Structure 1
Amino acid sequence: MNEAMKRLFQPGLERVMNRDSGKLAQKIAAVFLVVAMLAAVRVPAVIILLIAGAGVLIMMAVQRSQRRKTDLVFAFYIAADEVLCDEERRYRFEVADAIKAGEKVVRLLPDTPPLSSFALGALYYSVDDHNAAVEHLGLAAEEQILKDSIHKKPSRQLRRYVARLRQIERVPQRFARVNAAIQNLERLQRETGARLLAESQHHLKKLVEAYANDTTEQSKLPQPDGGMISPARQLNSITAPPPISQVLNDVYQEEATTS
């Protein structure tokens, strides 16, 4: 059994190792090139070592940041799978946390994978937010079509996501929890994606119709005058009130006459 698994995953592992080794070799060559240029201009060895060390640390930090961002997508898959497959036993804040993680994934990836959009749309559907559900479920349907398009140019973030996804698929026993969540979400997308989108669109249509009917009924009610100027009245027929000084003068004259 172990030999069979080894033969099954050995080609994929070799490709991953070869690709990583090639990238590492390019970076090492770049570092050696910079060191050689600095040595050629007689820069002290201590400064060269400091610069080389700083460059290595920066590359490691960048790689770690990129890997962390990609892993956020798969962490969201686990959270969404736990909520959608056992929705009735979940607290409301757990669903809200999963939605928040999905929104973060959408912001990280300019071309969001269809599975991410579906998972986020299904979560919104579970809390009856049909407006957001239609948005993300519709995107999932569109992205599923565009995924096979030769005219779609993937972003770097999507390339890193796909590379990580293929690594998980090649070694499923190493990433068992993530792989199970991905398979569950893909099954839900196939079985319920179209239905959830149609139901959300139906609910949204009913809300729009109810709002339109309510607006129509309100427009039929008699409106108060509210002191509005009728368009039929001429502007020259409207006289301005007397100034306050004239009003006070008249009051004083009336008081003097009375006394």
Structure 2
Amino acid sequence: MSDKLQKKTSESLKENSQYALAFGLIATMLFVAGFPLFVIFFFGIFAYVLWKTFSQPSRSETREIFEFYLSANELLRDDERRWFGFEVQEVIARGERILQLMNGAPPLVYFTLGALYNKIGDYKSASNHLAYVLENENADEATFNYPSPDLRNYVRILRKIEREPAEAPQTSAAVRSLERARRNRGKTLLENSRLLLKEQEAKKQEAAFAEKKQKELAQKNAEKTVEKIFVSVVQNEPGAYSIDNGREVSSTENQPTPNDSANHKKKKQKNTDDPFANRKPISEVLHDIYDSK
């Protein structure tokens, strides 16, 4: 970020000078008390390492909060820039990390996260964060009576920025913009998130119902296909039965057998050998006689 919360060089020099002054005073007292110089020197190095170890995270976490405000304000601003999805996700991850690491995170962090979740369409997370800020009495700044060291350090820097906005103009503008959005658009964002969340859930239910109906229809079609195949196979099998005028008829009933063929040949041969095979019946002969008269 181009906007610096504090001038690093002057701040580092100020911190080192304070440590040097304190160490010089303590070292003088120890030397007068008769401690060897190497013990005093070792004690000074050890104290400096401990001081840097336990003091640096608090400052870095506080700085990260204001950098989160800067990035989030750029994303939430109504301009014509088009942001990539991973950019928004990275800023959201930074805000979530602040909530995890900081004991008693500022309510503005929750609101900013809720607005970012609303922007990407995660309306459930947006509703949760916005509801915590707008509907929870414990989320009001006036209820923070016993602050953690991180929160105290955050408030100290915040008040300094508010008193001297020229030292961090972009950070000051980002904080004011987010606070104004929280005051003017917070309830609207919460209602919008809840409404869109209901619509999303309704669409999911409709999609699940349609998918279920489609699966049932596909299962019915599969059962019908299997039934048709089964009937076709059964009808084509030897000895299968079919319906003929309400009577079950075997498929082999009308099929000629070798015995039937032999009987037919014998009958035909018998008719050929008989000289009277073509003789007319007596009724036809009498009928012809009467017709001739």
TMscore range, shorter length: 0.5 to 0.7
Where 1:192 maps in the other structure, the secondary structure is helix
1:200 aligns with 2:193: yes
Cα deviation for residue 206 of structure 1 reads: 2.8
TM-score (norm 1): 0.64
| AA matched with 1:63 | S
> 1:54: which partner in 2?
46
Q: Deviations over 1:13-42 (max 9, x none)?
A: xxxxxxx99xx69x938972x8746874x5
Cα deviation for residue 170 of structure 1 reads: 1.6
Cα deviation for residue 119 of structure 1 reads: 1.0
CA contact (8 A) 1:31 1:52 kept: no
> 1:11: which partner in 2?
none
Root-mean-square deviation (CA, aligned residues, Å) is 3.4
Where 1:89 maps in the other structure, the secondary structure is coil
Cα deviation for residue 88 of structure 1 reads: 4.5
Cα deviation for residue 208 of structure 1 reads: 3.4
1:28 aligns with 2:40: no
Residues 110 and 90 (structure 1), Cα distance of their counterparts in 2 relative to 1, 3 Å cut = farther
Cα deviation for residue 160 of structure 1 reads: 1.2
> 2:162: which partner in 1?
169
Q: How does 1:88-103 map to 2 (within 5 A)?
A: 88-92=80-84, 93-103=86-96
TM-score (norm 2): 0.58
Q: Distance in 1 between matches of 2:202 and 2:24?
A: 63
> 2:122: which partner in 1?
129
Cα deviation for residue 96 of structure 1 reads: 1.9
Match of 1:104 among 77, 97, 117: 97
Q: Distance in 2 between matches of 1:192 and 1:31?
A: 54
Q: Distance in 2 between matches of 1:37 and 1:174?
A: 41
CA contact (8 A) 1:117 1:139 kept: yes
Residues 143 and 120 (structure 1), Cα distance of their counterparts in 2 relative to 1, 3 Å cut = farther
> 1:79: which partner in 2?
71
Match of 2:140 among 143, 146, 158: 146
| AA matched with 1:203 | L
Question: Where does structure 2 lack aligned partners over 5 or more consecutive residues?
Answer: 1-13, 220-293
Where 2:166 maps in the other structure, the secondary structure is coil
Cα deviation for residue 154 of structure 1 reads: 2.2
> 1:182: which partner in 2?
175
| AA matched with 2:77 | C
> 1:9: which partner in 2?
none
| AA matched with 2:111 | F
Q: Percent identity?
A: 30
CA contact (8 A) 1:120 1:136 kept: yes
| AA matched with 1:198 | E
> 1:63: which partner in 2?
55
Q: Distance in 2 between matches of 1:102 and 1:87?
A: 22
Q: Distance in 1 between matches of 2:83 and 2:65?
A: 22
CA contact (8 A) 2:30 2:40 kept: no
Residues 112 and 87 (structure 1), Cα distance of their counterparts in 2 relative to 1, 3 Å cut = farther
1:116 aligns with 2:99: no
Cα deviation for residue 163 of structure 1 reads: 1.0
Residues 136 and 65 (structure 1), Cα distance of their counterparts in 2 relative to 1, 3 Å cut = same
| Greater Cα offset, 45-54 or 193-202 | 45-54
